[in-house]
Chains A and B, each alone.
Chain A
Amino acid sequence: MQKKISKVKNKNVQMVKAFILDTLAWAYIALVSYKVLYDKIYIENRYPEFAWKQPLYALYFGLAAAALLFFTNFSLGRGSLGLIKLRDDEKATTKPFAFIGYLLIILTFVTGFYVSQVSLKEFFSSQGLEGAKRIFTALFHPNWSIFEQGLFAAIETIYMAFIATAIAIPIAFILGFIAARNLMTGNPVGFFIYTALRTVLNVSRSIEPLVWAIIFSVWVGIGPFSGMLALCLHSIASLTKQYSEQIESVDDGPIEAMTATGAHPVQVVWFGVVPQIVLPYLSYTIYRWDINVRMATVIGLVGGGGIGNLLMQYQGQARWNEVGLLVILIAVIVWTMDWASSVIREALK
Protein backbone atom coordinates (compact mmCIF):
# COMPACT_ATOMS: atom_id res chain seq x y z
CA MET A 1 0.00 0.00 0.00
CA GLN A 2 2.69 2.41 1.12
CA LYS A 3 4.67 1.60 -1.98
CA LYS A 4 1.77 2.11 -4.34
CA ILE A 5 1.06 5.62 -3.06
CA SER A 6 4.67 6.68 -3.45
CA LYS A 7 4.65 5.29 -6.98
CA VAL A 8 1.59 7.30 -7.96
CA LYS A 9 3.11 10.38 -6.37
CA ASN A 10 6.30 9.77 -8.27
CA LYS A 11 4.42 9.58 -11.57
CA ASN A 12 2.66 12.88 -10.83
CA VAL A 13 5.95 14.56 -10.01
CA GLN A 14 7.34 13.29 -13.31
CA MET A 15 4.35 14.68 -15.20
CA VAL A 16 4.74 18.10 -13.58
CA LYS A 17 8.43 18.06 -14.43
CA ALA A 18 7.62 17.13 -18.02
CA PHE A 19 5.11 19.96 -18.30
CA ILE A 20 7.58 22.53 -16.95
CA LEU A 21 10.17 21.24 -19.39
CA ASP A 22 7.70 21.56 -22.26
CA THR A 23 6.75 25.10 -21.28
CA LEU A 24 10.37 26.20 -21.05
CA ALA A 25 11.26 24.55 -24.37
CA TRP A 26 8.40 26.20 -26.24
CA ALA A 27 9.08 29.56 -24.62
CA TYR A 28 12.74 29.31 -25.62
CA ILE A 29 11.85 28.43 -29.19
CA ALA A 30 9.43 31.36 -29.38
CA LEU A 31 11.81 33.89 -27.84
CA VAL A 32 14.86 32.90 -29.82
CA SER A 33 12.96 32.70 -33.09
CA TYR A 34 11.60 36.16 -32.53
CA LYS A 35 14.77 37.86 -31.27
CA VAL A 36 17.28 36.26 -33.58
CA LEU A 37 15.56 34.92 -36.66
CA TYR A 38 13.08 37.78 -37.05
CA ASP A 39 14.62 40.82 -35.32
CA LYS A 40 18.28 40.32 -36.18
CA ILE A 41 18.37 38.36 -39.40
CA TYR A 42 15.11 39.16 -41.16
CA ILE A 43 14.76 42.89 -40.44
CA GLU A 44 18.52 43.28 -39.71
CA ASN A 45 18.09 45.27 -36.58
CA ARG A 46 21.64 45.55 -35.29
CA TYR A 47 20.80 46.49 -31.74
CA PRO A 48 17.32 45.13 -31.15
CA GLU A 49 15.53 46.59 -28.19
CA PHE A 50 15.09 44.44 -25.17
CA ALA A 51 11.94 44.62 -23.11
CA TRP A 52 11.02 42.50 -20.13
CA LYS A 53 7.61 41.87 -21.60
CA GLN A 54 9.14 39.86 -24.45
CA PRO A 55 10.28 36.88 -22.38
CA LEU A 56 7.01 37.13 -20.49
CA TYR A 57 5.01 36.80 -23.74
CA ALA A 58 7.29 33.95 -24.73
CA LEU A 59 6.45 32.25 -21.45
CA TYR A 60 2.71 32.68 -22.13
CA PHE A 61 3.21 31.22 -25.56
CA GLY A 62 5.22 28.37 -24.01
CA LEU A 63 2.43 27.62 -21.53
CA ALA A 64 -0.18 27.62 -24.27
CA ALA A 65 1.86 25.43 -26.62
CA ALA A 66 2.73 23.04 -23.82
CA ALA A 67 -0.89 22.74 -22.74
CA LEU A 68 -2.01 22.18 -26.31
CA LEU A 69 0.60 19.61 -27.24
CA PHE A 70 1.30 17.95 -23.89
CA PHE A 71 -0.58 14.74 -24.64
CA THR A 72 0.66 14.43 -28.23
CA ASN A 73 3.91 12.95 -29.42
CA PHE A 74 5.29 16.48 -29.68
CA SER A 75 5.81 16.71 -25.94
CA LEU A 76 9.56 16.87 -25.43
CA GLY A 77 9.15 16.71 -21.66
CA ARG A 78 7.16 13.48 -21.64
CA GLY A 79 9.41 12.04 -24.31
CA SER A 80 12.69 12.77 -22.58
CA LEU A 81 11.44 11.59 -19.19
CA GLY A 82 10.33 8.31 -20.75
CA LEU A 83 6.62 8.91 -20.16
CA ILE A 84 5.73 8.21 -23.79
CA LYS A 85 5.40 4.46 -24.33
CA LEU A 86 7.23 3.24 -27.39
CA ARG A 87 6.59 0.03 -29.29
CA ASP A 88 9.56 -2.29 -29.55
CA ASP A 89 10.22 -1.43 -33.19
CA GLU A 90 10.12 2.32 -32.58
CA LYS A 91 13.14 4.43 -31.84
CA ALA A 92 12.92 7.55 -29.66
CA THR A 93 15.23 9.41 -32.06
CA THR A 94 12.70 9.41 -34.88
CA LYS A 95 9.63 10.43 -32.88
CA PRO A 96 8.18 13.96 -33.29
CA PHE A 97 9.35 15.04 -29.82
CA ALA A 98 12.92 14.23 -30.85
CA PHE A 99 12.63 16.68 -33.73
CA ILE A 100 11.57 19.38 -31.30
CA GLY A 101 14.82 18.59 -29.50
CA TYR A 102 16.84 18.90 -32.74
CA LEU A 103 15.13 22.22 -33.44
CA LEU A 104 16.26 23.48 -30.04
CA ILE A 105 19.86 22.54 -30.76
CA ILE A 106 19.88 24.11 -34.24
CA LEU A 107 18.31 27.32 -32.95
CA THR A 108 20.94 27.52 -30.24
CA PHE A 109 23.75 27.16 -32.76
CA VAL A 110 22.32 29.82 -35.07
CA THR A 111 21.89 32.19 -32.15
CA GLY A 112 25.41 31.46 -30.94
CA PHE A 113 26.91 32.38 -34.30
CA TYR A 114 24.91 35.57 -34.51
CA VAL A 115 25.63 36.65 -30.97
CA SER A 116 29.38 36.20 -31.44
CA GLN A 117 29.11 37.98 -34.79
CA VAL A 118 30.81 35.22 -36.69
CA SER A 119 31.51 36.53 -40.16
CA LEU A 120 33.68 34.71 -42.67
CA LYS A 121 33.51 37.87 -44.81
CA GLU A 122 35.46 39.83 -42.24
CA PHE A 123 37.77 36.94 -41.49
CA PHE A 124 38.92 36.68 -45.10
CA SER A 125 38.58 40.33 -46.21
CA SER A 126 41.74 41.70 -47.85
CA GLN A 127 41.94 44.50 -45.32
CA GLY A 128 41.59 42.01 -42.48
CA LEU A 129 44.26 39.70 -43.89
CA GLU A 130 46.58 42.67 -44.33
CA GLY A 131 46.19 43.52 -40.64
CA ALA A 132 46.79 39.94 -39.63
CA LYS A 133 49.96 39.83 -41.72
CA ARG A 134 51.22 43.05 -40.15
CA ILE A 135 50.69 41.91 -36.59
CA PHE A 136 52.13 38.43 -37.17
CA THR A 137 55.30 39.80 -38.86
CA ALA A 138 55.77 42.16 -35.94
CA LEU A 139 55.17 39.42 -33.39
CA PHE A 140 57.77 37.23 -35.09
CA HIS A 141 60.28 40.08 -35.05
CA PRO A 142 60.29 40.84 -31.35
CA ASN A 143 62.10 43.91 -30.18
CA TRP A 144 64.88 42.53 -27.99
CA SER A 145 65.92 45.98 -26.80
CA ILE A 146 63.12 45.97 -24.21
CA PHE A 147 64.16 42.52 -22.99
CA GLU A 148 65.48 43.90 -19.71
CA GLN A 149 62.35 45.91 -19.04
CA GLY A 150 60.18 42.91 -19.87
CA LEU A 151 62.26 40.62 -17.67
CA PHE A 152 61.92 42.90 -14.66
CA ALA A 153 58.19 43.12 -15.20
CA ALA A 154 58.03 39.32 -15.47
CA ILE A 155 59.97 38.92 -12.22
CA GLU A 156 57.55 41.32 -10.60
CA THR A 157 54.69 39.11 -11.80
CA ILE A 158 56.27 35.92 -10.47
CA TYR A 159 57.00 37.43 -7.07
CA MET A 160 53.54 38.93 -6.92
CA ALA A 161 52.06 35.47 -7.51
CA PHE A 162 54.46 33.94 -5.00
CA ILE A 163 53.60 36.38 -2.21
CA ALA A 164 49.89 36.09 -2.95
CA THR A 165 50.15 32.30 -2.62
CA ALA A 166 52.42 32.43 0.42
CA ILE A 167 50.10 34.74 2.34
CA ALA A 168 47.08 32.66 1.35
CA ILE A 169 48.53 29.34 2.60
CA PRO A 170 48.43 29.81 6.41
CA ILE A 171 45.07 31.57 6.26
CA ALA A 172 43.55 28.87 4.06
CA PHE A 173 45.17 26.20 6.24
CA ILE A 174 43.25 27.38 9.29
CA LEU A 175 40.05 28.21 7.41
CA GLY A 176 40.20 24.75 5.80
CA PHE A 177 39.47 23.09 9.14
CA ILE A 178 36.63 25.50 9.88
CA ALA A 179 35.11 24.87 6.45
CA ALA A 180 35.25 21.07 6.82
CA ARG A 181 31.82 19.58 7.33
CA ASN A 182 32.97 16.51 9.25
CA LEU A 183 34.80 18.56 11.88
CA MET A 184 32.34 21.42 12.28
CA THR A 185 28.77 20.22 12.00
CA GLY A 186 28.64 18.31 15.29
CA ASN A 187 27.08 21.21 17.24
CA PRO A 188 24.88 24.22 16.32
CA VAL A 189 27.58 26.86 16.87
CA GLY A 190 30.00 24.98 14.67
CA PHE A 191 27.35 24.50 12.04
CA PHE A 192 26.60 28.22 11.99
CA ILE A 193 30.27 29.19 11.62
CA TYR A 194 30.70 26.53 8.94
CA THR A 195 27.72 27.76 6.92
CA ALA A 196 28.71 31.42 7.24
CA LEU A 197 32.28 30.75 6.16
CA ARG A 198 31.18 28.55 3.24
CA THR A 199 28.85 31.30 2.01
CA VAL A 200 31.50 34.03 2.21
CA LEU A 201 34.00 31.79 0.41
CA ASN A 202 31.57 30.84 -2.33
CA VAL A 203 30.66 34.45 -2.97
CA SER A 204 34.26 35.65 -3.09
CA ARG A 205 35.24 32.74 -5.32
CA SER A 206 32.44 33.42 -7.75
CA ILE A 207 33.78 36.93 -8.37
CA GLU A 208 36.62 36.72 -10.88
CA PRO A 209 40.10 37.80 -9.70
CA LEU A 210 40.03 40.24 -12.59
CA VAL A 211 37.11 42.02 -10.98
CA TRP A 212 38.78 41.95 -7.57
CA ALA A 213 41.86 43.51 -9.17
CA ILE A 214 39.73 46.36 -10.49
CA ILE A 215 38.12 46.83 -7.07
CA PHE A 216 41.48 46.81 -5.30
CA SER A 217 43.10 49.13 -7.87
CA VAL A 218 40.54 51.71 -6.89
CA TRP A 219 41.08 50.92 -3.22
CA VAL A 220 44.91 50.85 -2.97
CA GLY A 221 45.84 52.36 -6.32
CA ILE A 222 46.99 50.82 -9.58
CA GLY A 223 50.03 48.59 -9.30
CA PRO A 224 51.31 45.19 -8.20
CA PHE A 225 49.80 45.55 -4.73
CA SER A 226 46.23 45.58 -5.99
CA GLY A 227 46.97 42.59 -8.21
CA MET A 228 48.55 40.77 -5.31
CA LEU A 229 45.53 41.41 -3.09
CA ALA A 230 43.16 40.15 -5.77
CA LEU A 231 45.17 36.96 -6.26
CA CYS A 232 45.55 36.48 -2.54
CA LEU A 233 41.82 36.71 -1.93
CA HIS A 234 41.04 34.34 -4.74
CA SER A 235 43.72 31.90 -3.57
CA ILE A 236 42.41 31.91 -0.01
CA ALA A 237 38.92 31.08 -1.23
CA SER A 238 40.05 28.37 -3.63
CA LEU A 239 42.64 26.78 -1.35
CA THR A 240 40.25 26.76 1.60
CA LYS A 241 37.71 24.91 -0.51
CA GLN A 242 40.24 22.35 -1.73
CA TYR A 243 41.78 21.93 1.72
CA SER A 244 38.42 21.47 3.41
CA GLU A 245 37.32 18.93 0.80
CA GLN A 246 40.50 17.01 1.51
CA ILE A 247 39.75 17.09 5.23
CA GLU A 248 36.22 15.89 4.57
CA SER A 249 37.52 12.84 2.74
CA VAL A 250 40.00 11.69 5.40
CA ASP A 251 39.76 8.23 6.92
CA ASP A 252 38.11 8.33 10.36
CA GLY A 253 40.24 5.45 11.62
CA PRO A 254 43.33 7.36 12.79
CA ILE A 255 41.08 10.07 14.27
CA GLU A 256 39.21 7.45 16.32
CA ALA A 257 42.48 5.85 17.37
CA MET A 258 43.94 9.14 18.56
CA THR A 259 40.71 10.06 20.38
CA ALA A 260 40.78 6.66 22.08
CA THR A 261 44.27 7.30 23.51
CA GLY A 262 42.84 10.26 25.41
CA ALA A 263 44.64 12.83 23.25
CA HIS A 264 43.61 16.51 23.29
CA PRO A 265 41.46 17.56 20.28
CA VAL A 266 44.39 19.61 18.93
CA GLN A 267 46.56 16.50 19.08
CA VAL A 268 43.81 14.44 17.47
CA VAL A 269 43.80 16.82 14.50
CA TRP A 270 47.59 17.02 14.34
CA PHE A 271 48.18 13.25 14.47
CA GLY A 272 44.90 11.92 13.09
CA VAL A 273 44.13 14.38 10.30
CA VAL A 274 47.26 16.28 9.26
CA PRO A 275 49.38 13.27 8.16
CA GLN A 276 46.55 12.29 5.82
CA ILE A 277 46.38 15.67 4.13
CA VAL A 278 49.94 17.06 3.82
CA LEU A 279 50.67 15.61 0.40
CA PRO A 280 47.45 16.67 -1.31
CA TYR A 281 47.85 20.07 0.36
CA LEU A 282 51.33 20.55 -1.06
CA SER A 283 50.18 19.44 -4.44
CA TYR A 284 47.19 21.85 -4.46
CA THR A 285 49.37 24.68 -3.21
CA ILE A 286 51.99 24.33 -5.90
CA TYR A 287 49.32 24.09 -8.54
CA ARG A 288 47.74 27.24 -7.09
CA TRP A 289 51.03 29.12 -7.43
CA ASP A 290 51.25 27.98 -11.03
CA ILE A 291 47.72 29.25 -11.68
CA ASN A 292 48.52 32.48 -9.85
CA VAL A 293 51.48 33.26 -12.10
CA ARG A 294 49.25 32.89 -15.13
CA MET A 295 46.46 34.92 -13.54
CA ALA A 296 48.93 37.58 -12.45
CA THR A 297 49.78 38.13 -16.11
CA VAL A 298 46.15 38.65 -16.99
CA ILE A 299 45.50 40.79 -13.93
CA GLY A 300 48.32 43.09 -15.06
CA LEU A 301 46.12 43.95 -18.01
CA VAL A 302 43.70 45.81 -15.76
CA GLY A 303 46.39 47.65 -13.84
CA GLY A 304 47.57 44.95 -11.49
CA GLY A 305 51.22 45.59 -12.35
CA GLY A 306 53.88 43.29 -13.76
CA ILE A 307 54.26 42.03 -17.28
CA GLY A 308 50.55 42.21 -18.05
CA ASN A 309 50.61 45.93 -17.38
CA LEU A 310 53.52 46.43 -19.76
CA LEU A 311 51.78 44.35 -22.40
CA MET A 312 48.74 46.58 -22.09
CA GLN A 313 50.80 49.74 -22.54
CA TYR A 314 52.56 48.55 -25.71
CA GLN A 315 49.38 47.13 -27.13
CA GLY A 316 47.69 50.48 -26.57
CA GLN A 317 50.39 52.15 -28.64
CA ALA A 318 50.16 49.41 -31.31
CA ARG A 319 53.86 48.63 -30.86
CA TRP A 320 53.60 45.03 -32.00
CA ASN A 321 57.33 44.24 -32.00
CA GLU A 322 57.47 44.98 -28.29
CA VAL A 323 54.25 43.04 -27.73
CA GLY A 324 55.91 40.15 -29.57
CA LEU A 325 58.77 40.04 -27.11
CA LEU A 326 56.42 40.15 -24.12
CA VAL A 327 54.32 37.34 -25.55
CA ILE A 328 57.45 35.19 -25.86
CA LEU A 329 58.43 36.00 -22.28
CA ILE A 330 54.98 35.10 -20.98
CA ALA A 331 54.99 31.84 -22.92
CA VAL A 332 58.38 30.91 -21.46
CA ILE A 333 57.21 31.68 -17.92
CA VAL A 334 54.01 29.70 -18.32
CA TRP A 335 55.83 26.72 -19.80
CA THR A 336 58.46 26.75 -17.08
CA MET A 337 55.92 27.05 -14.27
CA ASP A 338 53.78 24.35 -15.82
CA TRP A 339 56.72 22.00 -16.15
CA ALA A 340 58.16 22.77 -12.72
CA SER A 341 54.84 22.36 -10.94
CA SER A 342 54.07 19.07 -12.67
CA VAL A 343 57.56 17.72 -11.87
CA ILE A 344 57.20 18.69 -8.20
CA ARG A 345 53.68 17.32 -7.94
CA GLU A 346 54.78 14.07 -9.58
CA ALA A 347 57.67 13.77 -7.11
CA LEU A 348 55.29 14.25 -4.19
CA LYS A 349 53.14 11.26 -5.10
Chain B
Amino acid sequence: MLEIKNLNKVYPNGYHALHNINFSVPQGEFLVVIGLSGSGKSTMLRCINRLHDPSSGEILFNGVDTTKLKGSALRKIRSEIGMIFQHFNLIPRSTVIANVLSGNLSRTGIFKSIFGIYSAEEKERAMKYIDIVGLRGKEKNRADNLSGGQQQRVAIARALMQNPKILLADEPVASLDPATSHSVMQYLKKVNEELGVTVICNLHFLSLVRQYAHRVVALKAGKLIYDGKPLEINEEWFKTIYGEDAVEVTIN
Protein backbone atom coordinates (compact mmCIF):
# COMPACT_ATOMS: atom_id res chain seq x y z
CA MET B 1 0.00 0.00 0.00
CA LEU B 2 3.00 2.25 0.55
CA GLU B 3 5.85 2.27 -1.89
CA ILE B 4 8.96 4.41 -1.49
CA LYS B 5 11.13 4.84 -4.57
CA ASN B 6 14.55 6.53 -4.71
CA LEU B 7 13.69 8.84 -1.86
CA ASN B 8 16.26 11.57 -1.17
CA LYS B 9 16.14 14.33 1.40
CA VAL B 10 18.56 17.22 1.48
CA TYR B 11 17.92 19.76 4.24
CA PRO B 12 18.07 23.47 3.35
CA ASN B 13 21.43 23.67 5.13
CA GLY B 14 22.82 21.16 2.61
CA TYR B 15 22.79 18.10 4.88
CA HIS B 16 21.96 14.99 2.87
CA ALA B 17 19.81 13.07 5.36
CA LEU B 18 18.36 10.33 3.13
CA HIS B 19 20.10 8.58 0.20
CA ASN B 20 18.04 6.70 -2.39
CA ILE B 21 15.69 4.89 -0.05
CA ASN B 22 13.62 2.08 -1.61
CA PHE B 23 11.12 -0.17 0.11
CA SER B 24 7.44 -0.98 0.18
CA VAL B 25 4.99 -1.81 2.91
CA PRO B 26 2.07 -4.18 2.32
CA GLN B 27 -1.34 -3.63 3.86
CA GLY B 28 -1.55 -4.70 7.53
CA GLU B 29 2.18 -4.95 8.19
CA PHE B 30 3.89 -3.85 11.42
CA LEU B 31 7.15 -2.43 10.11
CA VAL B 32 9.86 -1.22 12.46
CA VAL B 33 12.62 1.20 11.45
CA ILE B 34 15.87 1.01 13.42
CA GLY B 35 19.17 2.86 13.27
CA LEU B 36 21.46 5.05 15.31
CA SER B 37 20.53 8.52 16.43
CA GLY B 38 20.82 10.83 13.46
CA SER B 39 20.56 8.03 10.89
CA GLY B 40 17.45 9.63 9.40
CA LYS B 41 14.55 7.65 10.89
CA SER B 42 12.46 10.69 11.84
CA THR B 43 13.28 12.38 8.57
CA MET B 44 11.99 9.39 6.61
CA LEU B 45 8.77 9.13 8.61
CA ARG B 46 8.13 12.85 8.21
CA CYS B 47 8.63 12.61 4.46
CA ILE B 48 5.81 10.07 4.27
CA ASN B 49 3.17 12.50 5.59
CA ARG B 50 5.01 15.50 4.18
CA LEU B 51 5.86 17.21 7.47
CA HIS B 52 9.13 17.39 5.55
CA ASP B 53 9.24 17.77 1.79
CA PRO B 54 11.34 15.10 0.05
CA SER B 55 13.99 16.44 -2.31
CA SER B 56 13.51 13.76 -4.94
CA GLY B 57 11.94 10.37 -5.42
CA GLU B 58 8.41 9.07 -5.14
CA ILE B 59 6.19 8.01 -2.30
CA LEU B 60 3.20 6.07 -3.60
CA PHE B 61 0.36 5.84 -1.11
CA ASN B 62 -2.29 3.49 -2.54
CA GLY B 63 -0.96 4.37 -5.97
CA VAL B 64 -0.97 8.17 -5.48
CA ASP B 65 2.37 9.99 -5.50
CA THR B 66 2.20 12.15 -2.38
CA THR B 67 5.38 14.11 -3.08
CA LYS B 68 3.68 16.45 -5.55
CA LEU B 69 0.49 17.13 -3.60
CA LYS B 70 -0.50 20.58 -2.37
CA GLY B 71 -3.29 22.29 -0.44
CA SER B 72 -6.47 20.35 0.16
CA ALA B 73 -5.27 17.25 -1.69
CA LEU B 74 -2.27 17.10 0.64
CA ARG B 75 -4.51 17.56 3.68
CA LYS B 76 -6.74 14.75 2.41
CA ILE B 77 -3.78 12.36 2.20
CA ARG B 78 -2.50 13.48 5.60
CA SER B 79 -5.87 12.76 7.13
CA GLU B 80 -5.46 9.13 6.08
CA ILE B 81 -2.06 8.85 7.77
CA GLY B 82 -2.04 8.95 11.57
CA MET B 83 1.08 9.93 13.48
CA ILE B 84 2.23 9.64 17.07
CA PHE B 85 5.35 11.25 18.52
CA GLN B 86 7.98 10.67 21.17
CA HIS B 87 6.78 13.67 23.18
CA PHE B 88 3.08 12.93 22.56
CA ASN B 89 2.45 16.47 21.21
CA LEU B 90 -1.01 16.76 22.73
CA ILE B 91 -2.84 20.08 22.80
CA PRO B 92 -1.88 21.65 26.13
CA ARG B 93 -4.60 22.66 28.63
CA SER B 94 -7.22 20.63 26.79
CA THR B 95 -9.23 17.60 27.88
CA VAL B 96 -8.68 14.06 26.69
CA ILE B 97 -11.81 14.11 24.56
CA ALA B 98 -10.94 17.48 23.01
CA ASN B 99 -7.57 16.03 22.05
CA VAL B 100 -9.10 12.92 20.55
CA LEU B 101 -11.67 14.99 18.64
CA SER B 102 -8.85 17.08 17.17
CA GLY B 103 -7.85 14.00 15.17
CA ASN B 104 -10.96 14.56 13.07
CA LEU B 105 -10.20 18.22 12.23
CA SER B 106 -9.81 17.59 8.51
CA ARG B 107 -13.46 16.50 8.36
CA THR B 108 -14.93 19.06 10.78
CA GLY B 109 -15.50 22.49 9.24
CA ILE B 110 -13.15 25.29 10.28
CA PHE B 111 -15.83 27.31 12.06
CA LYS B 112 -17.44 24.32 13.72
CA SER B 113 -14.12 23.15 15.09
CA ILE B 114 -13.13 26.62 16.33
CA PHE B 115 -16.40 26.96 18.23
CA GLY B 116 -16.14 23.39 19.45
CA ILE B 117 -19.32 22.17 17.76
CA TYR B 118 -18.94 18.44 17.19
CA SER B 119 -21.64 16.10 15.97
CA ALA B 120 -23.01 13.30 18.14
CA GLU B 121 -21.48 10.80 15.75
CA GLU B 122 -18.02 12.36 16.18
CA LYS B 123 -18.33 12.32 19.96
CA GLU B 124 -19.46 8.72 19.88
CA ARG B 125 -16.46 7.71 17.79
CA ALA B 126 -14.12 9.63 20.07
CA MET B 127 -15.53 7.75 23.06
CA LYS B 128 -15.08 4.47 21.24
CA TYR B 129 -11.37 5.12 20.66
CA ILE B 130 -10.86 6.36 24.23
CA ASP B 131 -12.36 3.01 25.22
CA ILE B 132 -10.02 1.10 22.93
CA VAL B 133 -6.92 2.67 24.50
CA GLY B 134 -8.30 1.95 27.97
CA LEU B 135 -8.94 5.49 29.13
CA ARG B 136 -12.68 5.31 29.76
CA GLY B 137 -13.64 7.61 32.62
CA LYS B 138 -10.72 9.95 31.93
CA GLU B 139 -12.27 11.75 28.95
CA LYS B 140 -12.95 14.94 30.93
CA ASN B 141 -9.49 15.05 32.53
CA ARG B 142 -6.93 17.50 31.30
CA ALA B 143 -4.62 15.53 29.01
CA ASP B 144 -1.44 17.21 30.28
CA ASN B 145 -2.19 15.97 33.81
CA LEU B 146 -2.04 12.31 32.75
CA SER B 147 1.01 10.08 33.02
CA GLY B 148 3.33 9.69 30.04
CA GLY B 149 1.93 6.31 29.04
CA GLN B 150 -1.63 7.57 29.29
CA GLN B 151 -0.77 10.65 27.22
CA GLN B 152 0.66 8.43 24.51
CA ARG B 153 -2.54 6.41 24.54
CA VAL B 154 -4.52 9.64 24.08
CA ALA B 155 -2.27 10.34 21.10
CA ILE B 156 -3.06 6.88 19.69
CA ALA B 157 -6.78 7.51 20.13
CA ARG B 158 -6.37 10.87 18.38
CA ALA B 159 -4.63 9.16 15.47
CA LEU B 160 -7.38 6.50 15.32
CA MET B 161 -9.98 9.27 15.18
CA GLN B 162 -8.53 10.05 11.74
CA ASN B 163 -9.59 6.57 10.60
CA PRO B 164 -6.07 6.13 9.29
CA LYS B 165 -5.02 3.54 6.76
CA ILE B 166 -1.51 3.75 8.10
CA LEU B 167 -0.05 4.84 11.43
CA LEU B 168 3.41 6.41 11.73
CA ALA B 169 5.02 6.22 15.17
CA ASP B 170 8.24 8.17 15.81
CA GLU B 171 9.89 6.57 18.84
CA PRO B 172 6.55 6.27 20.61
CA VAL B 173 8.07 4.76 23.77
CA ALA B 174 11.41 6.56 23.98
CA SER B 175 10.35 8.73 26.91
CA LEU B 176 8.54 6.00 28.83
CA ASP B 177 9.70 3.44 31.40
CA PRO B 178 9.99 -0.25 30.32
CA ALA B 179 6.66 -1.44 31.72
CA THR B 180 4.75 1.48 30.23
CA SER B 181 6.64 1.00 26.96
CA HIS B 182 5.26 -2.51 26.68
CA SER B 183 1.73 -1.38 27.44
CA VAL B 184 1.88 1.30 24.73
CA MET B 185 3.40 -1.20 22.26
CA GLN B 186 0.58 -3.61 23.11
CA TYR B 187 -1.96 -0.97 22.14
CA LEU B 188 -0.14 -0.38 18.85
CA LYS B 189 -0.19 -4.12 18.24
CA LYS B 190 -3.92 -4.19 18.99
CA VAL B 191 -4.53 -1.33 16.55
CA ASN B 192 -2.52 -3.21 13.93
CA GLU B 193 -4.15 -6.60 14.45
CA GLU B 194 -7.72 -5.74 15.37
CA LEU B 195 -8.30 -2.61 13.30
CA GLY B 196 -6.05 -3.70 10.45
CA VAL B 197 -4.05 -0.44 10.44
CA THR B 198 -0.61 -0.68 8.85
CA VAL B 199 2.03 0.55 11.32
CA ILE B 200 5.49 2.03 10.65
CA CYS B 201 7.32 2.55 13.90
CA ASN B 202 10.78 3.90 14.79
CA LEU B 203 12.31 2.06 17.72
CA HIS B 204 15.58 2.00 19.62
CA PHE B 205 15.33 -1.25 21.58
CA LEU B 206 15.97 -4.47 19.68
CA SER B 207 14.10 -6.49 22.28
CA LEU B 208 10.94 -4.53 21.48
CA VAL B 209 11.67 -4.90 17.79
CA ARG B 210 11.86 -8.71 18.03
CA GLN B 211 8.64 -8.84 19.98
CA TYR B 212 6.44 -6.57 17.87
CA ALA B 213 7.84 -6.21 14.37
CA HIS B 214 6.72 -8.27 11.38
CA ARG B 215 9.58 -6.82 9.42
CA VAL B 216 12.52 -4.50 10.04
CA VAL B 217 14.36 -1.96 7.95
CA ALA B 218 17.58 -0.38 9.23
CA LEU B 219 19.02 3.01 8.31
CA LYS B 220 22.63 4.00 8.63
CA ALA B 221 23.81 7.49 7.75
CA GLY B 222 20.71 8.00 5.60
CA LYS B 223 21.06 4.72 3.66
CA LEU B 224 18.84 1.68 3.89
CA ILE B 225 21.19 -1.16 4.86
CA TYR B 226 18.87 -3.90 6.10
CA ASP B 227 15.42 -5.09 5.11
CA GLY B 228 14.24 -8.37 6.57
CA LYS B 229 12.84 -10.39 9.44
CA PRO B 230 13.57 -9.20 12.99
CA LEU B 231 14.94 -12.58 14.06
CA GLU B 232 17.49 -12.52 11.26
CA ILE B 233 19.31 -9.60 12.83
CA ASN B 234 22.28 -11.53 14.21
CA GLU B 235 25.39 -10.31 16.00
CA GLU B 236 27.03 -9.37 12.71
CA TRP B 237 24.12 -7.31 11.45
CA PHE B 238 23.83 -5.69 14.85
CA LYS B 239 27.45 -4.51 14.67
CA THR B 240 26.94 -3.26 11.13
CA ILE B 241 23.87 -1.26 12.06
CA TYR B 242 24.97 0.11 15.40
CA GLY B 243 28.79 0.09 15.05
CA GLU B 244 31.57 -2.18 16.31
CA ASP B 245 31.46 -1.06 19.92
CA ALA B 246 27.72 -1.33 20.41
CA VAL B 247 26.40 -3.64 23.11
CA GLU B 248 22.82 -4.76 23.14
CA VAL B 249 20.68 -3.53 26.02
CA THR B 250 17.46 -5.39 26.66
CA ILE B 251 14.24 -4.13 28.05
CA ASN B 252 11.84 -6.56 29.63
Query: A: which residues have CB within 8 A of B?
Result: 253-254, 256-264, 266-267, 270-272, 275-276, 278-279
Contacts and interface: CB of A to CB of B under 8 A. Distances in A.
A254 B144 CA distance: 12
A271 to B, nearest CB: 5
B49 interface: yes
Given A262-B77, A271-B105, A275-B94, A254 B89 contact: yes
A348 to B, nearest CB: 12
B114 A270 contact: yes
16 contacts: A253-B88, A254-B91, A257-B90, A257-B91, A259-B78, A260-B82, A260-B168, A262-B78, A262-B79, A262-B105, A263-B106, A266-B110, A267-B113, A271-B91, A275-B91, A275-B93
B224 to A, nearest CB: 23
Nearest to B72: A264
Interface SS, A side: helix
A261 B91 contact: no
Interface SS, B side: mixed
Contact of B110 (A257, A258, A267): A267
Nearest to B93: A275
Contacts of A257: 83, 85, 89-91, 155, 158
A237 B80 CA distance: 42
Given A258-B105, A261-B103, A262-B105, A253 B85 contact: yes
B148 to A, nearest CB: 14
Interface residues of B, number: 34
A275 to B, nearest CB: 5
B146 interface: no
B76 interface: yes
A254 B159 CA distance: 13
B75 interface: yes
Contacts of B159: 261
A260 B161 CA distance: 13
Which among B79, B83, B92, B113 has the greatest number of chain A C-beta atoms within 10 A? Answer: B92
B87 interface: yes
A257 B100 CA distance: 12
Contacts of A275: 91-94
A257 B89 CA distance: 6
B106 A256 contact: no
Given A256-B85, A258-B105, A271-B102, A264 B75 contact: yes
A263 to B, nearest CB: 4
Contacts of B103: 261
B81 interface: yes
A131 to B, nearest CB: 58
A253 B87 contact: yes
Contacts of A259: 51, 78
B152 interface: no
Contacts of B82: 260-261
Contact of A261 (B85, B90, B94, B106): B106
Contacts of A278: 93
Given A271-B105, A275-B93, A275-B94, A262 B87 contact: no
Contacts of B105: 258, 261-264, 267, 271
B79 A261 contact: yes
Contacts of B51: 256, 259-260
A279 B78 CA distance: 31
B67 interface: no
Q: Which 3 A-B pairs have CB atoms at the shortest separation, nearest pair first?
A: A262-B79, A262-B106, A253-B89
A254 B151 CA distance: 13
Contact of B49 (A260, A264, A266, A270): A260
A256 to B, nearest CB: 6
Contacts of A271: 91, 102, 105, 113
B102 to A, nearest CB: 5
